[in-house]
Amino acid sequence: MTSKRFALYYHQYHSELIRFTSWLTGNRETADDILQEALCTALRRLEMIPEGVSFRAWMYMNIRFTWMRFRRNSRRDYDSSCRYVRTTSPLQTDDRPDSDQHLRPWKRLVDRAVTNLPEPYRNSIILHEILGMDCAFVSETENTYAGTVKSRLYRGRKLLRQRLMMVAREENFVSWRRRS
């Protein structure tokens, strides 16, 4: 599809596309942003549009995908802005008399499980989960890609879950029998 043909189709369906986007978002300003982003994406992918595909249907699909991406990213931004950032590590023991005395053994056991993790997983878990840094900052700190950090977090959590279960079994907090 050529850019001239794209412009003709866009002008033909513009009011319908803005109406659909407004219905989808529930907000006219957001709808304008979503439609503009969808159009930019469509213009970048003009040569990828198959000849037999309806422009209208293709734009509806493109708008839906752009809206889903927008919602996913806005939720991530909200989650990262609301995250509580610790100033001290919760694994540190506190010798003050008003501290929670009953948590000291648990902190020691969690500390043991975390320190037994392999180094890349341990660093990612400590920076992201304990210190509350987002994946982008962890990737900059460790000089890796954000996807690598996310996979290390997934695998590290999985290993930590197994290690904590082993520690809990060693300390007789849970039984060795499997659930049936």
The residue that leads in pLDDT, 51 or 159, is 159
Mean pLDDT of the chain: 77
Closest by Cα among 37, 59, 63, 40 to 49: 59
Domains of the chain, each with CATH number or no CATH: 3-81 (1.10.1740), 101-170 (1.10.10.10)
80-124: pLDDT as tens digits: 544 444 444 545 555 555 555 556 667 777 888 888 888 888 888
Both structure tokens of 21 = 């986007």
Residue 77 has pLDDT above 70, yes or no: no
Chain centroid, CA 27 distance in Å: 25
Q: According to the model, what pLDDT value does residue 36 have?
A: 86
Summarize the confidence of residues 140-149 as an average pLDDT. 86
Residue 69 Rama label (left phi>0; alpha psi -120 to 50; beta) = alpha
Q: According to the model, what pLDDT value does residue 179 have?
A: 55
Residue 176 has pLDDT above 50, yes or no: yes
Q: Return the percentage of the chain with pLDDT > 70, whole number.
A: 78
Q: According to the model, what pLDDT value does residue 84 have?
A: 44
